[in-house]
Amino acid sequence: MTLERIPYGKHYIDEDDIQSVVDVMRNAALTQGPKVKEFEQALAKFVGAKYAVAVSSGTAALHMACLAAELGEGDNVVTSPNTFVASANCAIYVGATPQFADIDPNTLNMSPDALTQECERLGKVSAIIPVHFGGLSCDMPAIQNIAKRNQAIVIEDASHALGATYPTGEKVGCCTYADMTVFSFHPVKIIAAGEGGMITTNDEDLYRKLIRIRSHGITKLDDQFECHDEALSEGEVNPWYYEMLELGFNYRITDMQSALALSQLNKLDSFLFRRRSLALAYDEALLGQAHIKPAQIGGRKHNAHHLYVVRIDFKAIGKPRRDVMNALIEQGVIPQVHYIPVHLQPFYKKLGYKRGDYPNAEAYYDQALSLPEYYSLTDEQQQRVLQVLLEVVA
């Protein structure tokens, strides 16, 4: 018998999901059809935002948000070092300068105090990209205040946090504390589109810009046309006419992807419920462990639980992380490390960053391990993960 493999994360697809994609392939347009708009409206309603723009990936969404915010050369963009590289790369895409503010060791999110210090050090900050790491929302009222003092735009990277809430109960993505919020629907995230992303906003100007940037900078809306001589014949809009108003991209999402994501959105509440139950069960099982500590223990009620992260004191157990990981993998349990701090990537080191720059992110990284947490993980599988982990670490 081959050993069952239990990964750290996994999507869940049922017959309804499959049928919804097949229906698009049989009946409707494959791209730019009705499913994109339906998905946008459903997600905007779910998070409580006025507008939503569906795009080809979370990375495209971050790039577009930076473009819509008109960030560019000379603009400092501050994000968390404890994130996926895309949260910082988007600043570089538009010619801006990525900067980092260290994390709070308890939440593993950007620390408002560190952000304040970073803003003072830099003198001028144009945008802040807080990341709701693992699905736990950042201290957004504090970050919004700092942004206001610095006249900086706020773009939340909520790739992990679909369904998460703020302590006030509002959903992440409602844009009460931010100009734009970005989501990812990569299969390992909370819902899957294959590839996909979304930007939510309450600002109509940003919304219109995002719609244009998604498709080559082109508009077909006559109230946006700049060149009336070309647009009109005898006061009527020419039927073939469109205008390219700025440099945009093809960052569109397909109807197949939107149909899948929409069908997944119907199951979001059960996804979130199961993820939370698993997190609470891990917390309880690991209570009192000397050298394995669940991270982000606060705010379980508000967390979307994309990741279940523990901190292991590898020095105290006398086994390096490599050995622990290999022993787990041998037993079919496949953990992961989230994240190698962005500033330690060779590309960022060449920009001048080094070990020691963000001590909290680095100290956490040295102890980090993400355990399996996903909707279809059974209680038995979770027990097996715990049993193998405790054996290996003991």
- Contacts (Cβ under 8 Å, ≥6 apart) of 341: 81, 82, 358, 361, 362, 365
**Residue closer to ligand PLP, measured from CB, 324 or 342:** 342
Alpha carbons 229 and 312: distance in angstroms, whole number: 68
Pairing of strands 97-100, 76-79: parallel
**Residue closer to ligand PLP, measured from CB, 158 or 393:** 158
- Confirm if 109 and 100 have CB atoms less than 8 A apart: no
Question: Which of 357, 335, 306, 338 is CA-nearest to residue 85?
Answer: 338
**Residue closer to ligand PLP, measured from CB, 184 or 303:** 184
- Confirm if 168 and 343 have CB atoms less than 8 A apart: no
CA atoms within 13 A on the CB side of 73: 0
- Confirm if 188 and 181 have CB atoms less than 8 A apart: no
Question: Which of 107, 103, 6 is CA-nearest to residue 336?
Answer: 6
Closest distance between ligand PLP and the C-beta of residue 251, in Å? 11
Cα angle 34, 36, 39; round to 5: 110
Alpha carbons 109 and 302: distance in angstroms, whole number: 14
Question: Which of 164, 145, 220 is CA-nearest to residue 48?
Answer: 164
Tokens representing 294?
């669940």
**Residue closer to ligand PLP, measured from CB, 110 or 392:** 110
**Residue closer to ligand PLP, measured from CB, 187 or 332:** 187
Alpha carbons 50 and 208: distance in angstroms, whole number: 12
- Contacts (Cβ under 8 Å, ≥6 apart) of 233: none
- Confirm if 106 and 298 have CB atoms less than 8 A apart: yes
The residue behind tokens 């059960």 is: 270
Give all strands (DSSP E) within the chain, no chain letters.
6-7, 51-55, 76-79, 97-100, 127-129, 153-157, 180-184, 197-201, 218-219, 232-233, 236-237, 243-244, 292-294, 308-312, 333-334, 368-371
What does the binding site for ligand PLP look like in residue numbers (CB under 6 A)? Answer: 57-59, 83-84, 86-87, 131, 157, 159-160, 184, 186, 197
Tokens representing 46?
């779910």
- Confirm if 35 and 27 have CB atoms less than 8 A apart: no
Closest distance between ligand PLP and the C-beta of residue 338, in Å? 8
Closest distance between ligand PLP and the C-beta of residue 133, in Å? 7
